[in-house]
Amino acid sequence: MGEHSVKAIKTLRERKTFLYHLLNDIEALNLMIEQDKFEKGIQRIGAEQELCIVDKYFRPSKNALRVLEKVNDPHFTTEIALFNLEINLDPLELKGDCFSKMQEDLEARIEKADKVANSIEENNIILTGILPTLRKRDLVFENITPYPRYKELNKILKEIRGDDFYLKIRGVEELILSHKSILFEACNTSFQAHLQIPLEEMVDKYNWAQAIAGPVLAIASNSPLLLGRELWSETRIALFQQSVDIRNSSYLLREQKPRVSFGSDWIHDSIIEMYRDDVVRYAPLLTSEIEEDALEVLKKGGVPKLKAIQIHNGTVYRWNRLCYGQNEGVAHLRIENRYLPSGPTIVDEIANTVFWVGLMQGMPDEFRDLPKRFSFNEIKENFINAARTGINTYFNWFGKGLSAKRLIRTRLLDIARNGLIASNVATSDIDYYLGIIEKRSAESKTGSNWIKKSNTLLKETMTRDIANATLTAHMYRNQKEGRPVHEWEAVYDNDILNLDLSITKLEKYMTTEVFVVNEEDLVEMVAKVMDWKKIHHIPVVDKDNKVTGIITSTNLEKIKGQDQRLIVARDIMVREIVTAESNISIEEANRIMIDKGIGCLPIIELGELVGILTRNDLIKIIQSKSEE
Q: From 303, 172, 190, select the one nearest 240 (Cα to Cα).
A: 190
Instruction: Supply the pLDDT for residue 254.
Output: 37
Contact 286, 156 (CB under 8 A): yes
Mean pLDDT of 483-503: 70
Checking if the pLDDT of 502 tops 80, the result is no
Cβ(391)–Cβ(451) below 8 Å: no
Q: How far apart are CA 306 and CA 245, in angstroms?
A: 26
Per-residue pLDDT band for 577 (boundaries 50, 70, 90) equals confident
Lowest mean per-residue pLDDT among 318-332, 432-446, 557-571: 557-571
- Computed over every residue of the chain, the mean pLDDT equals 88
CA distances from 444 to 221, 486, 487 (A): 11, 8, 11
* pLDDT score for 597: 85
pLDDT at 163: 63
pLDDT at position 493, please?
Answer: 60
pLDDT for res 123: 96
Q: 287-300: b or e for each residue (b if 16 or more CB lie within 10 Å)? A: bbebebebeebbee
Residue 616: what pLDDT?
A: 74
Given a cut of 50, whether residue 255 has pLDDT beyond it is no
251, pLDDT greater than 50: no
Inter-residue contact 298 to 32 (CB < 8 Å): yes
Rounded to two decimals, what is the model's pTM? 0.86
Instruction: Provide the pLDDT for residue 429.
Output: 98
Output the pLDDT for position 63. Answer: 96
Helix, strand, coil percent content, the chain, rounded in steps of 5: 45, 20, 35
* Per-residue confidence band for 131, with pLDDT thresholds at 50, 70 and 90: very high
- Report how far residue 125's alpha carbon sits from residue 110's, in angstroms, rounded to the nearest whole number: 7
Listed as own residue / partner, the contacts of 323-328 with beta carbons closer than 8 Å and 24 or more positions apart are: 323/194, 324/29, 327/39, 327/44, 327/91
- Regarding predicted confidence, which is higher, 405 or 467? 405
445-489 pLDDT, tens per residue? 999 999 999 999 988 877 777 788 889 999 999 999 999 999 999
CA distances in angstroms from 33 to 19, 37, 333, 392, 509, listed in the order given: 21, 7, 10, 41, 61
pLDDT value of residue 501: 40
pLDDT score for 503: 45
What pLDDT is attached to residue 27?
Answer: 95
Q: Could you report the per-residue pLDDT of 206-227, keeping only the tens digit for each?
A: 999 999 999 999 999 999 999 8
Please compute the mean of the pLDDT values over residues 155-183 and round it to a whole number. 74
- Give the pLDDT mean for 188-211: 97
C-alpha to C-alpha distance for 118 and 71, rounded to whole angstroms: 12
Q: What pLDDT band is residue 248 in, cutting at 50, 70 and 90?
A: low
Residue 136: is its pLDDT beyond 50? yes
Instruction: Determine the 3-state secondary structure of 126 from DSSP.
Output: strand
For the segment 507-561, what is each residue's pLDDT rounded down to a tens digit? 666 777 788 999 999 998 999 898 898 888 899 988 877 888 999 888 888 888 7
Task: Kindly tell me the sign of the dihedral angle through the C-alpha atoms of 440, 444, 449, 450.
Answer: negative
27 compared with 186, residue with greater pLDDT: 27
Environment class of 36 (CB within 10 Å of its CB; exposed 0-12, middle 13-18, buried 19+): exposed
The pLDDT confidence band at residue 287, using thresholds 50, 70 and 90, is: confident
Worst-scoring range by mean pLDDT, 24-28, 259-263, 514-518?
259-263
The torsion angles phi and psi of 51, rounded to 5 degrees, stand at -145, 165
Domains and CATH numbers, the chain: 7-435 (3.30.590.20), 506-627 (3.10.580.10)
Preceding omega of 344 cis (within 30 degrees of 0): yes
Between 156 and 381, where is the model more confident? 381
Polymer length of the chain? 628
Between 191 and 144, the more confident residue is 191
pLDDT score of 585: 76
The arithmetic mean of pLDDT across residues 85-106, rounded, is: 97
The distance from CA 162 to its chain's CA centroid, rounded to whole angstroms, is 24
pLDDT of residue 138: 87
